[in-house]
Amino acid sequence: MNPPKPTPRPDKVSLWRYLKLFRKDLLSAQPQRLYRAWMAEFRTPFFRSYMINQPELVETVLKKRPDDFPKSGRISEGLRPLLGDSVFLTNGETWKRQRRIIDPAFEGGRLKDTFPAMLQAAEACVARLKGQAGEVIECEELTSHAAADVIFRTLFSVPIEHEVAAQVFDKFRAYQRQQPLLNLAAFIPVPRWVPRFHARNTRRNAKAIRALIKRLTTERAKLIAAGQAPDDLATKIMTTHDPETGRCFDTQEMVDQVAIFFLAGHETSASALAWTLYLMALYPEWQEKLSAEASVLDDPCFASASKLRLSRDVFRESLRLYPPVPMMVREATCPEDFRGREVAKGSQIVISPWHLHRQERLWDRPDEFDPTRWHTENGKTCQRQAFIPFSAGPRVCTGAGFAMVEGPLLLSMLLRHFRFELVEGRTPVPVAHLTVRSADGIWLRLVER
């Protein structure tokens, strides 16, 4: 029994049909042959894009020559209303300055400092679920709430029940379902002054989220000035000076960065954890192994996280099968030659973790769930060359280490107290919204141990 794939599509469709499929579901629009191809070309009347699925090409773009392949501006068309000029969207010197300020907050030593807040969020999640034992629950809602709680506790030292945090979470849930990963404007080059193709509700929710985040950052700035701020991620980032310019983030820049922390640190973690819970219901023998391993949390501390080895392998396998960000888009700044093909300046270079993680030429049994693969020679090789759930190279997600502590911890805490069981007729189908989600939610029965 293999995990579900997106709805299968024919290998060849017209451009108009492709655009309709893409808008509805980016994953199902991709033809089956891409799971074997090293490279594929996609043409529109306006530009050409190339999906690269060969490790050597991916390494060139992400690691060896990242400055020659900056983030595509077409991606920002869909995300700009929420993220502004956050580190996720910027390029060049602006991006480098932002990373110099942000990265110190996520260094190894800081992870230990954030662990108590993660643990509190996990315990709060378990407590909330106690009253739902025996019921069928929607797991994406569960994991979104838990991941948002982690972010607010580690970033601003407030729980999800905090007035402003609760409003941000509520608005973001609406935004997540309305906004696809890529906006249709990504296909059509239009001048900056032309209004973008954003639904009215999407624009309204993005504006509301940013206004709420501004309240949090403004209040924190006052606490910092008064010497009363807690030692959390927000304080660390807001008080870090760029070592080259001496500047800190101003209020507007901090709003942009908090927006991406919430998106990257909450939305992606929620997606990964929801799919992991589904896989645990699909493979109950693994669920029992993780429940037994979770006994190391009887006396939880940061050292406990390193003992959750099986949980980490399972979470990693879930990230392979259901990478939260299924595609990344870069832009060629000069003519290239990829596999004997001329790639013109301005071409879009698509790197797809969704396809690379299931690349039939690389992985043994790519569509099968097997957490033990990470200890095989094939798994170790592919982990180095073809596993990029957090991207790779200089633009690797600054919170990757954070996520690999948070995910296994939340998973272990949940399985320590509950079993998750399949519900007949409720097989989730993966689709791409802002992240890889299920078309109709992930519904599982919650059973208290």
Give tens-digit pLDDT for 82-97.
Answer: 888 888 889 999 999 9
Q: Is there a domain that residue 5 lies in?
A: no
Q: How confident is the model at residue 261 (pLDDT cuts 50, 70, 90)?
A: confident
Name the token pair of 94.
């602006």
pTM of the predicted model, to two decimals?
A: 0.90
Across the chain, mean pLDDT equals 86
Supply φ then ψ for residue 180, to 5 degrees.
Answer: -70, 165
Torsion on CA atoms 296, 298, 301, 305, rounded to nearest 10: 30
Q: Is there a domain that residue 222 lies in?
A: yes
**HSE-up of residue 44 (Cα within 13 Å, Cβ side):** 17
Residue 75 is part of which domain span?
Answer: 15-448
Q: Is there a domain that residue 7 lies in?
A: no
Q: Is there a domain that residue 271 lies in?
A: yes
Is there a contact between 329 and 349 (Cβ–Cβ < 8 Å)? yes
Q: Is there a domain that residue 75 lies in?
A: yes
- Diameter over CA atoms, the chain: 63
Average pLDDT for residues 201-217, to the nearest whole number? Answer: 86
The number of folded domains in the chain is 1
Give the whole-angstrom CA distance, residue 432 versus residue 267: 12
Q: Is there a domain that residue 10 lies in?
A: no
Classify each residue of 277-291 as buried b or exposed e, where b means 16 or more C-beta atoms within 10 Å of its C-beta.
bbbbbbbeebbebbb
Q: Is there a domain that residue 6 lies in?
A: no
Average pLDDT for residues 268-274, to the nearest whole number? Answer: 94
**Which pLDDT does position 48 carry in this prediction?**
82
Supply φ then ψ for residue 52, to 5 degrees.
Answer: -110, 130
Q: What is the CATH number of the domain that holds 192?
A: 1.10.630.10
DSSP letter, residue 281: H
Q: Is there a domain that residue 9 lies in?
A: no
